Structure 1
Amino acid sequence: MATADEFQAAVPLDDLRETTRELVTVDGTAIALFYHEDEIRAVDNRCPHMGFPLSEGSVEDGILTCHWHHARFELSCGDTFDPWADDVRTYPTEIRDGTVYVNPNPPRELPPDEHWANRLETGLEENLRLVVAKSTIGLLDAGVDYREPMATALEFGTRYRDSGWGPGLTILGCLANVIDDLDPADRKRALYTGVRHVADDCADQPPNFDQPSFSTDEVAFDRLKAWFRNCIEVRDADGAERCLRTAVATGRSESEVAELLFAAATDHPYLSTGHVLDFANTAFESLEHVGWEHAGETLASLIEPLATADRSDERSSWRQPVDLVALLEDAYGGDVTVTSRLEALASEGGEGAGRDWSPPAEFQDTLLSDDPEAVVDALATAVDNGASTEDLAAEVAHAAATRVAQFGTANEFGDWNTVHHTFTYANAVHQSARRTDAVELYRGVFDAALSVYLDRFLNTPPAPVPAPGDNETGRDPAAIREELLATFDVEGEVNEAGRLVAEHFDCGGDPDELKRTLGHGLLREDAGFHTLQNLEAAFRQFDLADERAEQAVTRDGRASERGDRADESAAAIDLERRRRVPLIATARYLAAHFPTRRQAEQTFSIAARLNRGETIHDE
């Protein structure tokens, strides 16, 4: 209960009775005072919805109505009738010697972290963008780790979307993956963006009803994996879910559960234009943020999109004019669901598989060629020579990034997504191969490589990718980053955006600053699912490039001693070029999709100002 010293004089009682409302500022807080039904009420003058002055609202039957969007508030406690508006804060009042006193700093009923956690749940349930924005900003401002609201959104998105894992949860996971690459203010934008997309995905969807695990822990893993794959093959989602939940409930390792899912996700090539495997990879990455204890619900949400996926081996583009499926079947040793020949090749690679293999000099040219048989043969030869799934996935991911970096702007706009899908699928295969050494992921590598082949016409002619040293080196990298942001304000600056990224490297700019700039450019826009995906995949591929470069330098040293690489300087230039390609690719992709109306940024800005207590409208 407030003490007398906490109250401050506000307005003479007689004046308030006469006018029925007064706007006062007490201790820097704008407060609307109302005399209604012989009671004195005090509320924050800013409507919690959009900041409109409540002193200009209407009061009737104990209800205060804002005149802007007609939000209604119970006057005595400030609770709203309209969840989209949020509750308005109230203040205690007293009458002393004919004067109304107000306590402008009463204790809150809940600490900020609990208040905003509750509001976040409401924002998700009602799909209220402004409430989500205020909640995510409020939680991070209260010192709450981003993983807590992420877990809330993840649980909500898997529970209240019967169709399972979708774009919203993928966006949430992607932005969690890059959150450390962003400026602190943009981390709030990232969390807000991820959560609002989850809420939007779940709107008007029926809830999901779980299937239980089997009541046994005696099923061998190989049998459980076979059951799971068979259920997915015949599109039996319920049976598949019981198998998956049993694997989690009986304590199978993350690697084993990943093997089970990724095997089924590669039993047919390039399911749903790559989304199925990408969803699965992002689900595992999300669990790295929130904890394996969420694995049951999270991974079960993958079943529906997996069981209902479009199968590329049933599409004409994979059958005509070249039967790519037949090429895969021959490489795999039977049909697209087997791995017998791949297993034999990997076994022949020996125990050192993956450690001593390095791509031949022409390997990337082959992957980007117009000869699918040569592509498949090159991959099979690499497996036979000891290339691991991770090694090959890295090579194919680079080829896929190159397709984006060289995308010709004369193509139809929608074809950006064609090369994008291949790139994010290849990235997902690469990330998945780092999670498990399941032999089935070789199939994902082959599938991604043939999708790169199918995209070849979109590089006709190829847009030039600036090579290291193509730009002058005297410019200030900060000025280059400002110019890069400016390209996102103008339509059609695709090639210039890619050139500026290359110039930033040539001028010795900090790649971390470049990533922060790209992240800010993305998050201020109304970016869609694919654009958000694209940046995350590019960041992941860039981050792995240094690691691969170090490994390659070691291998090149050995190769040079054997006389296999005579021109080490050329090799160094090639490694530097490979580092740049993912960020050049995503800068071009972003520039192709910007600018937007930036409605989401407007909402975020309003929410941030309201949370800070700023006045949005002149009073």
Structure 2
Amino acid sequence: MSTEYVHVADLDDLRAEGRRLVNENGQAIALFYEDGAVRAIDNRCPHMGFPLTQGTVDDGVLTCHWHHARFELACGDTFDPWADDVPTYPVEVRGNEVWVKPVRERDDPPAVHWARRLDTGLEENLRLVLAKSAVGLDDANVAYRDPYVSALEFGTRYRESGWGPGLTIHTALANIRDSLDRDGRRRALYQGAVEVAGDCAGEPPRFAQPAFEPADRSPERLTEWFRECVELRDADGAERVLHTAIRSVSPTQVCGMLYAAATDHRYLDTGHALDFVTKAVESLDHAGWDAAEDVLPTVVSGLANAERAEEDQEWRQPVDLAAVLDDAFEDLPEENGSGEWREPDGFVETLLGDDPDAVVDALSDAVDAGASTTQLAGVVRFAAARRVAQFGTANEFNDWNTVLHTFTYANAVYQGTLVTDTPLLYRGVFDAAASVYLDRFLNTPPARIPDGDADADPEDALSRLLDAFDVEGGADAASRHAADFLAGGGDPDALREALGGALVREDAGFHTFQAVEAAFQGALDSDGDRKTVFLVAAARYLAAHTPTRREREQTFRIAERLQAGESLHDTE
């Protein structure tokens, strides 16, 4: 590519014409004569690629006719953040000749440019800008962590109410990133950023409480203070304690504090409060513990202000589940189990049964036999996945959320047991099992989990599965095709990749993102029939909530085409 000035026009001709399109080194350059000066800019509007030679210049401002983006012609800067600045080229007038150097002025490296545009997209809640940034950053080979952390930091700083659905989705998508192909990963970053920006739009910023002055305080004392503040719904006091703990005790002890408070009451906010704690903790797997003091305090308000299930009628009538659990908690050990417990036959069927006393007794016996919090949480998570996989379509559509809340809560408890060994998380396991019990009628009659056809062609089954996401009411078909794929010898990794790819192409809601991520986590931890159940649950829930309008996918495809230099219109 030439980096020298090239002759592009005669000045008199350009003055008479006012503008001209020239092509040099494969670049379409728009020349304008304005106020006695010659300007050279990229002919593609940076918003959606419309030819700027067809725009209008007035008082030194160039307006694109497609979406009316405006640019200061002399430097290319835009008046409209959604449009981006248009690149300019150096110009020299030599006598009556106009010479242009076909090298853009002020061109930042792509990684720098798209990181800056990602920030703008988050600040202004601009989906096309976020899509362009996701594509541009990936094309520039920027590590996923960098834009993930940018959106994480934005979400924790600019939402007064703290951690919410947007950051949960952003982190859930980061968690399943390794299950996606390259296209899916680009869309995952875009979807997460869109959710974070939407959550923060119109919200006041968040101002953190300070830590206490340095002093030696035991983890036990800090935990006691933190739990008491949450109990009294004193979010400010709890946040100060948490800031202090993050600076003075180990990450495991900090996580223990959070999960203690999250299980002091039953099933807070239908499971969302503990799920948000887990996702905030998991975000540090991507961002690093150094971000803990910015991230973890954002969950405090949710803990302190959460609705407590023991105050709800369904947890009190006709069976006082809260009282039954309180009695069981009195006998819980002060240390985590040894892990020597082995799941007895029929244990899951007991959890899925209609006798709450039998459920609690089975869990208590498991704890007495040495079941660790992780072991027990894993089995309860599987039982919750069964509720989703066998959800009967005779129920009201919104009842999908009921079984989903239980499943994602159970998954959050399980993930919590991996970061802290506090025995207080047994309470979360019992809460999840109680919610599984309460959901029993949503499996009446239960949908059948397909056995799968061992003679099925995996490629054909996968194609049929993806087709099920394009029609309403495809839940049963999706379950069958997912089971056939696995029974026919299909690779579970390929199934996760396909399900994840389908997810990030939809205008999925909060719960759909949660469902797929929790199912993926369960499948990765399981083998055999249990792996199948988790993946069938993911396929069934996703199919029940698709197709959507796919507006986000349309925006993303536009961004991809623009990044590839394609034209979006018929005009030359």
Given the two structures, how large is their TM-score scaled by the length of structure 2? 0.97
Secondary structure at the aligned position of 1:302 is classed as helix
* Structure 1 unmatched runs, 5+: 334-340, 547-575
- State whether structure 2 residue 450 is matched by structure 1 residue 466: yes
Secondary structure at the aligned position of 1:343 is classed as coil
CA contact (8 A) 2:32 2:39 kept: yes
The one-letter code of the counterpart of 1:367 is L
C-alpha deviation, 1:472, in angstroms: 4.1
Decide which moves more: 113-122 or 379-388. 113-122
Secondary structure at the aligned position of 2:98 is classed as strand
C-alpha deviation, 1:217, in angstroms: 3.1
C-alpha deviation, 1:4, in angstroms: 8.6
The one-letter code of the counterpart of 2:559 is A
Q: Which residue of 2 aligns with 1:156?
A: 154
**Which of 141, 144, 147 is the matching residue for 1:146?**
144
Measure, in 2, the Cα distance between the counterparts of 1:369 and 1:513.
Answer: 34
Q: Which residue of 1 aligns with 2:326?
A: 329
Measure, in 2, the Cα distance between the counterparts of 1:486 and 1:16.
Answer: 55
Q: Which residue of 2 aligns with 1:202?
A: 200
Decide which moves more: 86-95 or 179-188. 86-95
Secondary structure at the aligned position of 2:343 is classed as coil
C-alpha deviation, 1:109, in angstroms: 3.7
CA contact (8 A) 1:26 1:104 kept: yes
C-alpha deviation, 1:85, in angstroms: 1.3
**Which of 261, 274, 290 is the matching residue for 2:258?**
261
**Which of 463, 472, 485 is the matching residue for 1:491?**
472
Q: Which residue of 1 aligns with 2:554?
A: 602
- State whether structure 2 residue 438 is matched by structure 1 residue 449: no
- State whether structure 2 residue 538 is matched by structure 1 residue 586: yes
CA contact (8 A) 1:159 1:208 kept: yes
Measure, in 1, the Cα distance between the counterparts of 2:395 and 2:97.
Answer: 73
Post-superposition Cα deviations, 1:525-580, rounded to whole Å, max 9, x if no partner, equal 1111111111111111000114xxxxxxxxxxxxxxxxxxxxxxxxxxxxx21111
Q: 1:85-484 alignment to 2 at 5 Å?
A: 85-96=83-94, 98-106=96-104, 108-250=106-248, 252-333=249-330, 341-343=331-333, 353-354=338-339, 356-467=340-451, 470-475=452-457, 477-484=458-465
C-alpha deviation, 1:417, in angstroms: 0.8
Post-superposition Cα deviations, 1:447-487, rounded to whole Å, max 9, x if no partner, equal 000101111111010000012xx414251x22322221111
C-alpha deviation, 1:14, in angstroms: 3.0
Secondary structure at the aligned position of 1:32 is classed as strand
C-alpha deviation, 1:432, in angstroms: 0.5
Q: Which residue of 1 aligns with 2:71?
A: 73
C-alpha deviation, 1:97, in angstroms: 6.1
Q: Which residue of 2 aligns with 1:534?
A: 515
Q: Among the aligned pairs, what percent are the same residue? A: 59
Q: Structure 1 residues 439, 45: closer, same or farther in 2, change over 3 A?
A: same
CA contact (8 A) 2:148 2:189 kept: yes
Measure, in 2, the Cα distance between the counterparts of 1:187 and 1:480.
Answer: 24
Measure, in 2, the Cα distance between the counterparts of 1:537 and 1:136.
Answer: 24
CA contact (8 A) 1:263 1:440 kept: yes
Q: Structure 1 residues 617, 343: closer, same or farther in 2, change over 3 A?
A: same
CA contact (8 A) 2:90 2:105 kept: no
C-alpha deviation, 1:156, in angstroms: 1.0
Q: Structure 1 residues 101, 615: closer, same or farther in 2, change over 3 A?
A: farther
Post-superposition Cα deviations, 1:110-163, rounded to whole Å, max 9, x if no partner, equal 222122121111111111111111122212221211111111111111111010
Measure, in 2, the Cα distance between the counterparts of 1:15 and 1:402.
Answer: 75
C-alpha deviation, 1:106, in angstroms: 2.9
CA contact (8 A) 1:53 1:617 kept: no
C-alpha deviation, 1:196, in angstroms: 1.4
CA contact (8 A) 1:393 1:430 kept: yes
C-alpha deviation, 1:218, in angstroms: 0.9
CA contact (8 A) 1:65 1:72 kept: yes
Aligned positions, number: 571
**Which of 463, 480, 501 is the matching residue for 1:520?**
501
* Structure 2 unmatched runs, 5+: none
C-alpha deviation, 1:42, in angstroms: 1.8
CA contact (8 A) 1:46 1:615 kept: no
Measure, in 2, the Cα distance between the counterparts of 1:377 and 1:48.
Answer: 65
- State whether structure 2 residue 458 is matched by structure 1 residue 506: no
The one-letter code of the counterpart of 2:424 is E
Measure, in 2, the Cα distance between the counterparts of 1:5 and 1:235.
Answer: 65
Measure, in 2, the Cα distance between the counterparts of 1:7 and 1:404.
Answer: 66
C-alpha deviation, 1:107, in angstroms: 5.5
The one-letter code of the counterpart of 1:126 is E
C-alpha deviation, 1:108, in angstroms: 4.3
Secondary structure at the aligned position of 1:78 is classed as coil
Secondary structure at the aligned position of 1:342 is classed as coil
- State whether structure 2 residue 552 is matched by structure 1 residue 613: no
Decide which moves more: 68-77 or 363-372. 68-77
Measure, in 1, the Cα distance between the counterparts of 2:161 and 2:201.
Answer: 12
Q: Structure 1 residues 157, 55: closer, same or farther in 2, change over 3 A?
A: same
The one-letter code of the counterpart of 1:614 is E
Measure, in 1, the Cα distance between the counterparts of 2:161 and 2:259.
Answer: 19
